[in-house]
Amino acid sequence: MFLGDLHTHSLCSPDGAVPMAELARAGREAGLTCLCITDHCDLLDLTGTFTPHFDWAPVRAAYDQAREALPPGLELRLGVELGEAYESPETARDILARAPRLDFVIGSVHNFRAMMGKQDFYNADYSDLALCHAALEDYLDTLHALAALPDCYDTLAHILYPLRYMRQAGQDVSLAQRDYPQRLDRVLQQVAQAGKALEVNTWRGRTVAEWEPILRRFKALGGEYVTVGSDAHRAEDLGKGVAPAYELLRTCGYRYTAVYRERKPVMEAI
């Protein structure tokens, strides 16, 4: 049975915890049959500073080492989580062009674009509900800007990202409020029309059920490709929520999940 985790981080990410080779071993022990390592390449850092340089050499070295010790039954793919490509599409394209045999590109937004000094959503104080709503407006508009750059991503990542921190602050916010459904529709339609994928990010198994209305809407707007990833940064989190996400996909009328090889979607039955 296919079980793939397409959003994971190793020591090649600033916030990663384990080498790729160890991640691969742990992935097979967790029952994965496909693992894609998607370490961070963010054009803005946590404070909003532009960071246009990315060194592929240690990533490729770690990947080659992991492949040499690859456990039987596991297919390993090399990806990248490319954050904030909208900040400088030319820089993003140059980074991707210099990549050594790249299978998969996750496009993500972690930072404010028009407020808060462009810092990461992780850094903000969400005790003010008005800030939460302003942040979500900023975020959804930025997602749309990223979705309009189809050569800079294969799947659009964790569109629930800012909600993680707002809810931890005790705020009752969702993308079903205010005019967010209309703003989200613009994003999903852009992704669908570009023939790109939408990611179900389980956040290490924390978020699965709340993806249902988004998946149904994506399908209604013509979306075909969906990827699934745990966003694991530690070996023990690999694959968490992936199987339940597949079940949710089936409930929403999807029969396949997309797995990428050399940036081309391969459909795997779920």
Tens digits of residue pLDDT in 203-251: 999 999 999 999 999 999 999 999 999 999 999 999 999 999 999 999 9
Residues 158 and 81: their CA atoms lie apart, in Å, by: 11
By the 8 A CB rule, do 174 and 166 touch? Answer: no
The CATH class for the domain spanning 4-269 reads: alpha beta
The answer, as to whether pTM is greater than 0.85, is: yes
Cα 123 to its chain centre, rounded Å, is 19
By the 8 A CB rule, do 16 and 9 touch? Answer: yes
Question: Beta strands 264-269 and 256-261: pairing type?
Answer: antiparallel
Q: How confident is the model at residue 100 (pLDDT cuts 50, 70, 90)?
A: confident
- The whole-number average pLDDT for the span 90-116 is 97
Work out the widest C-alpha separation in the chain, in whole angstroms: 52
By the 8 A CB rule, do 182 and 192 touch? Answer: no
Instruction: Give the end-to-end CA distance of the chain in Å, rounded to a whole number.
Output: 8
Residues 136 and 148: their CA atoms lie apart, in Å, by: 18
Torsion angle of alpha carbons 211, 245, 218, 80, nearest 10°? 100
Q: Tokens 């991640």, residue?
A: 23
Let me know if 77 is exposed, middle or buried by CB neighbors in 10 A (0-12, 13-18, 19+). Answer: buried
Question: So where are the chain's domains?
Answer: 4-269
- And the tokens for 10? 């190793």
Q: How confident is the model at residue 168 (pLDDT cuts 50, 70, 90)?
A: very high
Q: What is the pLDDT of residue 141?
A: 97
Q: How confident is the model at residue 196 (pLDDT cuts 50, 70, 90)?
A: very high
By the 8 A CB rule, do 214 and 167 touch? Answer: no
By the 8 A CB rule, do 231 and 201 touch? Answer: yes
Q: For residue 36, report the phi and psi dihedrals to the nearest 5 degrees.
A: -115, 125
Q: What percent of the chain has pLDDT over 70?
A: 100
Q: Tokens 């050499």, residue?
A: 57
By the 8 A CB rule, do 107 and 157 touch? Answer: yes
pLDDT reading at 70 higher than 90? yes
Q: How confident is the prediction for the chain on average, in pLDDT?
A: 97
